[in-house]
Structure 1
Amino acid sequence: MKGARACKPMSYLGTDTTNRKEMDVSVIVPVYNDPSGIEGTLRSMTAQSYNPNKYEVIAVDNGSSDETPAVIKHYANEYPEIVVAEQETEVQGSYAARNTGISKSSGEIIVFVDADVIVPEETVEMIVEKFSTTHCDYLGLDIAVTIPETEQGLIARYNKARAFPVEFYLTHHDFAPTCGLAIKRSIIEDVGRFDQRVTSGGDSEFGKRVAKAGYTQCFAPEIELSHPARTTFSEILSKGVRLGEGRAQLRQNHGESSLKLKDILPPHPVKYWKRLSKKKPIIMFVVFYILETIMKTCKLKGIIKEGVKHRFGSSR
C-alpha cells in the first residue's frame, strides 16, 4: 500500500505511453561502444524460457561509434523480440538511454540490465512469477561478479570483493543498481523516470523516490545475473571519478547530504579487514586497501571537478 508522498516529479521525468503493444515484460539495455558486451547480453536474452511473444528486449544505443549498432541490428533482424532504439535526447548517458527505453517499451514489468550482463534462461520467467506471487513492486536482482580465467589479477579480484551488495543497498539505502532491477510500469508512471542529469547515482535517487512513495522493495537472491569484473586500473580510476561526479550532481539537483569526512579519509583498516574476511591473504588485503584509498581519492576528484563545473560553468 502506498503512503503519502510529495508533489509529482518534474516534466523531464514524464512517461510517454503512446503506441504501445501489450507485453508482459520489457527488458531495457543501454549500451555505448561495447559490441562484445551487448552481443553476450542479447544472446542470453534470446535464449529465455519465457514465451518470446510476451517479452521484448529494447537495446538503446547511446551514440556508439564502433560496431555496437551493427550487432544490435543483427540480433533484431534474427529475433523479433529484440527492438532497436536510438537515444532520443542530446544528453548522452545511461539514465537518458534508460528513459528512452521506457518510452519505447510496452511491458507491464520493466527490467533494466547492463550491456555486459549475462541473463540466465529462466530469468524473465522467474521475474514474472515473483511479481505475480508476492507484493513486490520494485525488485533488486542478485549480481554475481565473474572473472575470466585469463584475467585473474588483483584488480579483478578487488572489483569482485567490493562488487554489488544488492541486499545491503536495498536494506540500508532503498535502491538496487540498474544492472539488475525489475519494476512495475505503473510505479514509473507514478514516481517518474530516472534523472538523466546525473552521471552516476541515478539508480539511488530513483530507488529512494520509489521508497518515499510507499512502494514495496524486495530482493531476489534466487534470480542471479552475471556481471564481468573490471580488470584494469584505468577502469577503476574512471569509475571512482564518475561516482564522485554523480555524488556532487545529486547534491546539486536533489539536496543530497553534504560531503562527510569519511568520504575522503582512507577506510578504517580494522573494519575493512572484517568486511573483506580475515581468510584473505595479508598481501591481498594490503593491495585492496590501497586500491580502496585510491578510489576514494578519485571520488573526491570527481566531486571537486563537478563542483567547479557547476560553480564556474567550465566544460567537463
Structure 2
Amino acid sequence: MNHQPVDATTPASFLPMVSVVVPIYNGETDLPELINCLLSQTYPKDRVEYLLVDNNSSDRTLTILKTSAENCPIAIHPLSETQIQSSYAARNTGIRAATGEIIVFTDADCRPQPQWLDALIKPFVNKEVVIIAGEILALPGTTLLEQHADRQETLSQKHTLNHSFRPYGQTANLAIRRIALEKVGLFRPYLTTGGDADICWRILGENIGRLEFAPNAIVQHRHRTTLQELQSQWRRYGRSNRYLHELHSVDLMRDMTPKEYGYRLGRWLLKELPRDIKKAIAGQATLVDLLNTPIGLFTARARSGGQRDAKLPENAKIIERL
C-alpha cells in the first residue's frame, strides 16, 4: 500500500496561532455564558488567546474579566480601551495586543458553538484566503419580534456576503489574516457602524486575497425583543448605508414613497391578512405570518430614517495603523 507523506499544510496539522478579539461594553450579564463558550472550544487551547477588551463599561465588566482571567484554563487577556467610545477602537486595542497570525472577532452577546474556531480557521490552509466569515444563527427566541427576525434570517451572513458592491462578513463572526491588517490598516476607530464592511472592502480592494464563507463555524446571537430595540437596529443599518456610501461610493438604498407604504399596507389589510387568518384557523399560519408585512414596513422605515439623517463625522475617515 502506498502511503502519502503527511503534508504540513493538511488541515489536520494546520493549527496557526489564533487571537480572538471581543469588544465589551456593559457586558457583565453576557460574560459568564460567553466565557463558557470559549472554554468549550475544540481548537487546541495552547494555540489560541482571548483578548477581551472593556470599552469604558459602567458595570462590573472589567472586574469580571480580571477575575475570569486569573483561574482559567484558557488564555484570557483583559484589556481596556478608555480613550474612544467605539467597538472598533476596542477591537483595534485587541489587535495591537494580539500575537496570533489569524485575528478572529466576535461579540460579548454572541454564543460561539464548540467547533466554531476549528471550522473558522480551517479554510486558511489555502494561502489565497485572507478573510473568513462564519455563520450567525439566532438563539431560540420566544417573542413575536424574535420569531420574525429568525424567519427573515436577519443576522445571517448570507445577506452581507451577497452585497452588490463587494462581499463582507460581520464582526460577530469574522477572521482576518494579520498580514492583511498590516497592509491596509485597522478599523476606523471613530466609526460607529459599518466598520466590518469597510475593513473587508479595503482588504478585497487591495487584491491581497479572497474572502470565504465557513457555514459550519457558527455563533448564535440574540434577536431584538422590543420595537424600540428593533427600530434602533434598523436605523443603525441605515446609518451604515450612508457612511459606506460616503467612504466607498456604494449606492444608497432607495426610500419607499408614502404612496408605496400606503399601497403595501392596503394590500396587507385587504388581501394578505384575510388570507393568512384563514390559514391560521386551519393551523397553517402563525401570528408571525399575519404580521410579517407591517413589521417589514416598520424596519424599512427605520432604515430609511437612519440613512436619511446620518452624516459621516470627519474623524470617522481616520484609519489607524498596526
User: TM exceeds 0.5?
Assistant: yes
Change (3 A) 1:251 1:91: farther
Kept after mapping to 1: 8 A contact 2:53/2:94: yes
Name which of structure 1's ranges 121-130 and 199-208 shifts more when overlaid on structure 2: 121-130
Equivalent-residue separation in structure 2 for 1:280 and 1:24 (angstroms): 50
Residue 217 of structure 1: how far off its partner (Å): 0.7
Given that 1:60 and 1:86 are in contact with CA atoms closer than 8 Å, whether structure 2 keeps it comes out as yes
The CA distance in 2 between the partners of 1:26 and 1:260, in whole Å, is 39
Answering whether residue 94 of structure 2 is matched by residue 127 of structure 1, we say no
Further displaced range: 230-239 or 258-267? 258-267
2:157 aligns with one of 162, 166, 170: 166
SS at the partner of 2:19?
strand
Which residue of 2 is the match for residue 184 of structure 1?
A: 177
Residue equivalent to 1:217: 211
Q: Number of matched residues? A: 278
Supply the distance in 1 between the matched residues of 2:175 and 2:253 (Cα, whole angstroms).
31
**Letter of the aligned partner of 2:233 in structure 1?**
K
Query: In angstroms, what is the RMSD of aligned CA positions?
Result: 2.9
Structure 2 residue matching 1:36: 3-state secondary structure: coil
Question: CA shift at 1:110, angstroms?
Answer: 0.6
What CA deviation, in whole Å up to 9, does each residue of 1:102-159 have, x standing for no partner? 11111101100011111222322333333125742210101111124xxx11111122
Q: What's the CA shift string for 1:211-232, capped at 9, x where partnerless?
A: 2122211111122121122222
Partner Cα distance (1:221, 1:245) in 2:
28
Please give the alpha-carbon distance, in whole angstroms, between the structure 2 residues aligned to 1:219 and 1:34. Answer: 28
Task: Decide whether aligned partners of structure 1 residues 284 and 127 sit closer, same or farther in structure 2, where only a CA change above 3 A counts.
Answer: closer
Q: What is the CA deviation profile of residues 7-28 of structure 1, one whole-angstrom value per residue up to 9, with x for unaligned ones?
A: xxxxxxxxxxxxxxxx700001
Q: Per the alignment, do residues 236 and 186 of structure 1 end up closer, same or farther by CA in structure 2, a change over 3 Å counting? A: same
User: What displacement does 1:235 show?
Assistant: 1.2
The equivalences for 1:2-81 within 5 A come to: 24-79=17-72, 81=75
Pairwise CA distance, 1:76: 1.0
Q: Which residue of 2 aligns with 1:240?
A: 234
Distance 1:134 1:268, change over 3 A: farther
What corresponds to 2:319 in structure 1? Answer: none
Normalising by structure 2, what TM-score?
0.77
Aligned identity (percent) is 26
How far, CA to CA, are the matches of 2:22 and 2:35 in structure 1? 9
What is the correspondence of 1:270-309 to structure 2 with a 5 Å cutoff? 281=285, 283-307=287-311
Equivalent residue number for residue 17 of structure 1:
none
Deviations 1:174-225 (A, max 9, x none): 1011100011111111122122332211111222222212221111112212
- TM-score for the superposition, normalised by structure 1: 0.78
Q: For the residues of structure 2 that align with 1:52 and 1:165, how far apart are their CA atoms?
A: 28
SS of equivalent to 2:145: helix
Give distance in 2, aligned partners of 1:60 and 1:32: 9
Deviates more, 1:242-251 or 1:136-145: 242-251
